Amino acid sequence: MSFPQLGLSAEILRAVADQGYDTPTPIQLQAIPVILAGHDLMAAAQTGTGKTAGFTLPILQLLSERPVTGKRKPRVLVLTPTRELAAQVEESVKSYGCHLPLNSLAIFGGVSLVPQVRALKAGVDILVATPGRLLDHLGQRNVDLSGIEILVLDEADRMLDMGFIPDIRRIVALLPKQKQTLMFSATFSDEIRQLAAGFLDKPQRVEVASRNATADRIEQRVYHVDKARKRDLLIQLIKEHNWHQVLVFTRTKHGANALAEKLESAGIRSAAIHGNKSQGARTRALADFKSLKLNVLAATDIAARGLDIDQLPHVVNFDLPNVAEDYVHRIGRTARAGLSGSAVSLVCVDEHGLLRDIERLLKREIETVQVPGFEPDPSIRAEPIENGRRSGGHRPGGDRGNGAARKPQGRAGGAKPGAAKRQPMRSGR
């Protein structure tokens, strides 16, 4: 089925064509008719499947079919777990709605309230927000949610992980009872199902390719190397293969900074992106990375969550993640929307257990490559993995949603039990 057959208006189809999309993705094919028919929706789809257009396109269609008169109040609220995702979803809303007389606004923390208040006063149709900052605005009566017709809970599993559910309940309590609710989540866990039962009314369910199916399109390789030599190996790989857009995951914020500095001094344009960086610095780094002014972005898991980078060719796990599922999430940044991509993992002796967890989850072994001159020293013993709590602890009274590590923590390579906590430095504000 093609986009015109989905029943979208000429203005929306023009915007879709402007983006260069010719065929709807599976989530779009399934979700768009359900949303247009006015049903509540529970969709299992992760970032990279085209889910944003999957809800944005029919929402724009519904709003333009139902013009309202009187004071402009938000008619759609999209809640996201992170600032980056809020900014990206709103960017998509702007692109897909560019030929329609509808406007949108992203509100998230880390930046001044003032321009957001001004924009809210001027009138907004589609509001994309992180829960904490939205509650700040609600507390100051800067925004009236009594006109909401459609609520979207994007990456609901992440919001659950990050402890935002109480905030979301407070927000939902302020919305009209009569509305359409759409919930997107990477998985349908028991907790997500319970949550859906509270927020959704007779939802239709759609589910697309599991995480593992996405991972199958990605060329994955493991390089065994000693911890102290990972930076040199990465520099060699980047230079040898002429990689010019590489997202590199590190375990800690300190590790991201140190790596970016080292790569810079080797002549590779790099920046670090993590929760201790200002919003301005993060936005700038992402824009420079997208425009290839930077070749490497070194990121922690939470900072990278939801990053939407078109056609990202390479992902490197400089450190393996503590939670095997995060591996699939990380490498899912590449091979988006049917493209292929490569994911390279630099694995030292401390991480052998983590690698086994990942291979168990993928149900297959990842191909191993040994670069001559970088063979691991067999006399080096595994040590517990440092998780950078000292360098990365949360600020007291700072971000919302701290302390919400809900997933089982990976434990491997002799890591201390409980040492593998997710770092709750991202914020819903």
Q: Which residues contribute to the site for ligand AMP (CB under 6 A)?
A: 21, 23-25, 28, 47-53, 308, 310, 336-337
Tokens 């072994």, residue located: 365
CA distances from 123 to 77, 126, 337, 369 (A): 14, 10, 34, 56
> Shortest distance, CB of residue 19 to ligand AMP, whole angstroms?
6
> Shortest distance, CB of residue 30 to ligand AMP, whole angstroms?
13
**DSSP assignment letter at 409:** P
385, 387, 389, 392 alpha-carbon torsion, rounded to 10°: 150
The smaller minimum CB distance to ligand AMP, of residues 98 and 405, is found at: 98
> Shortest distance, CB of residue 301 to ligand AMP, whole angstroms?
17
Cα distance between residue 321 and residue 347, in whole Å: 11
Cα distance between residue 394 and residue 197, in whole Å: 32
Cα distance between residue 315 and residue 249, in whole Å: 8
The smaller minimum CB distance to ligand AMP, of residues 48 and 413, is found at: 48
> Shortest distance, CB of residue 51 to ligand AMP, whole angstroms?
4
> Shortest distance, CB of residue 199 to ligand AMP, whole angstroms?
21
The smaller minimum CB distance to ligand AMP, of residues 260 and 335, is found at: 335
The smaller minimum CB distance to ligand AMP, of residues 157 and 308, is found at: 308
Sheet of strand 246-249, all strands in order from the earlier edge strand to the far edge:
270-273, 296-299, 246-249, 314-317, 341-347, 218-224, 367-369
> Shortest distance, CB of residue 162 to ligand AMP, whole angstroms?
18
Burial 82-101 (b: 16+ CB within 10 A, else e): bbbbbbbbbebbbebbebbe
> Shortest distance, CB of residue 93 to ligand AMP, whole angstroms?
11
> 137, 167 in Cβ contact below 8 A?
no
Cα distance between residue 47 and residue 57, in whole Å: 16
The smaller minimum CB distance to ligand AMP, of residues 19 and 194, is found at: 19
CA distances from 297 to 269, 313, 340 (A): 9, 13, 20
CA distances from 300 to 86, 254, 263, 269, 392 (A): 18, 10, 16, 18, 11
The smaller minimum CB distance to ligand AMP, of residues 18 and 365, is found at: 18
The smaller minimum CB distance to ligand AMP, of residues 20 and 373, is found at: 20
The smaller minimum CB distance to ligand AMP, of residues 25 and 257, is found at: 25
The smaller minimum CB distance to ligand AMP, of residues 53 and 59, is found at: 53
> Shortest distance, CB of residue 25 to ligand AMP, whole angstroms?
5
> Shortest distance, CB of residue 339 to ligand AMP, whole angstroms?
9
> 25, 55 in Cβ contact below 8 A?
no
Q: State the CB neighbour count (10 A cutoff) for residue 201.
A: 12
